[in-house]
Amino acid sequence: MKDKFYQYIQDLQDSITSKLEAIDGKAIFQQDLWERPEGGGGRTRVIQNGNVFEKGGVNISAVHGKLPKSMQAYFNVGDVNFFACGLSLVIHPKSPMVPTVHANWRYFEMYDQDGTIVDQWFGGGQDLTPYYLFEEDAKHFHTVCKTACDKHDPEFYPKYKQRCDEYFHNTHRNEARGVGGLFFDYCKASETMSMDNWFDFVTEVGNSFLEAYVPIVEKRKDLTYTQEQRNWQEIRRGRYVEFNLVHDKGTLFGLRTNGRIESILMSLPPHVQWQYDHHPEKGSEEEKLIEVLQQPKNWV
């Protein structure tokens, strides 16, 4: 399973980066191959200063070795070995009219001292973070997510949509990071779902990513915007940074397992603002976004 999934994310990285380069028309992804001293490595691809994308990363990694003490406590296990692989992406467009997007699809195995698999699971999801709310964009993104889920279980979309709303939430701000999408974790074999079934589901979601995001980019990338709207985008990006550094499990896992810092922090945007006690004007488009972030909506 780990070989099959790692091959899948390598191919998915190729298809996503080539499509995003074609949309941008100027910038191309810079590739870094890296190795982790304790075992494994990855292939980081970053795009910067493009026509459409100010900064973005589409990274894959496959790491293995002894599970660090900090993560043993987290998973409530003793001395075990692990294997983890996944694709993680964050794209920050230049225009405030184009939403930031994040996605991740991953697979994890844990072994006893004899090398026998004692636990294994899939996780992942995809979510959208707009700076200006175009409701049709949110509906499109969620419709694609629901279609992918419904092919496997009609209960998946409402369940994983709710988990996304709960997870990507800046509790210290009492607001969502964006308009959500899907989030699933610890997807393990059961009476109704084998690991092969989970593989089919996770790859279905992965394959839906470009369909969910690209039409939104193409629709919004040439809209005009003002410096004030750009300022708002940078203020909202600050909330994105706060979430990733304070709450995000993937970031914390990478930092605690001696991951590659540049790859872990590639999710951070290049230009951000933190203005003291900033509030949007009453009745403005900016306030409209905040209202939606304080109360999740059903988009489909």
pLDDT digits (tens, 9 = 90+) for 197-232: 999 999 999 999 999 999 999 999 999 999 999 999
**What is the pTM (predicted TM-score) of this model?**
0.95
53-66 and 81-93 beta bridge pairing: antiparallel
How confident is the model over 154-174, as a mean pLDDT?
Answer: 97
Residue 109: per-residue pLDDT: 96
Record the tokens describing residue 146, joined without a space: 């629901």
Residue 262 within a domain? yes
Any domain includes 249: yes
129 CB-near residues (< 8 Å, 6+ apart): 99, 100, 101, 102, 177, 178, 179, 236, 240
When pLDDT is cut at 50, 70 and 90, the band that residue 184 belongs to is very high
111 inside domain:
yes
Give residue-wise pLDDT tens across range 8-23: 999 999 999 999 999 9
Q: By residue range, what is the domain housing residue 251?
A: 2-294
> Which residue has 């488009």 as its token pair?
285
Q: What is the pLDDT of residue 249?
A: 84
The verdict on residue 121 lying in a domain is yes
**Confidence band of 297 (pLDDT split at 50, 70, 90):** very high
Residue 258, pLDDT > 80, answer: no
| Within-domain flag for 299 | no
Handedness of CA 6, 11, 16, 22 (dihedral sign): positive
Which two structure tokens, joined as six digits, stand for 163? 């988990």
Question: Is 21 part of a structural domain of the chain?
Answer: yes
| Residue 156: pLDDT over 90 | yes
Lowest mean pLDDT among 52-66, 73-87, 163-177: 73-87
Q: What is the CATH classification number for the domain harbouring 87?
A: 3.40.1500.10
Note the pLDDT of residue 254: 82
* Amino acid, single-letter form, for residue 252: L
Q: What are phi and psi of 268, to 5 degrees?
A: -85, 135
The pLDDT of residue 267 = 86
Number of domains in the chain: 1
Q: Does 278 qualify as catalytic in the annotation? A: no
CB distance 28 to 56 below 8 Å: no
* Average pLDDT of every residue of the chain: 95
As given in the structure block, the two tokens for residue 268 are: 């951070």
Which residue is listed with tokens 């001696």?
Answer: 258
CA-wise closest residue to 117 among 85, 80, 160, 151: 80
What is the rounded distance in angstroms from the CA atom of residue 117 to the CA atom of residue 204? 25
Options 64, 92, 102, 279, the catalytic residue: 102
Dihedral angle at the C-alpha atoms of 52, 56, 62, 65, nearest 10 degrees?
Answer: 180
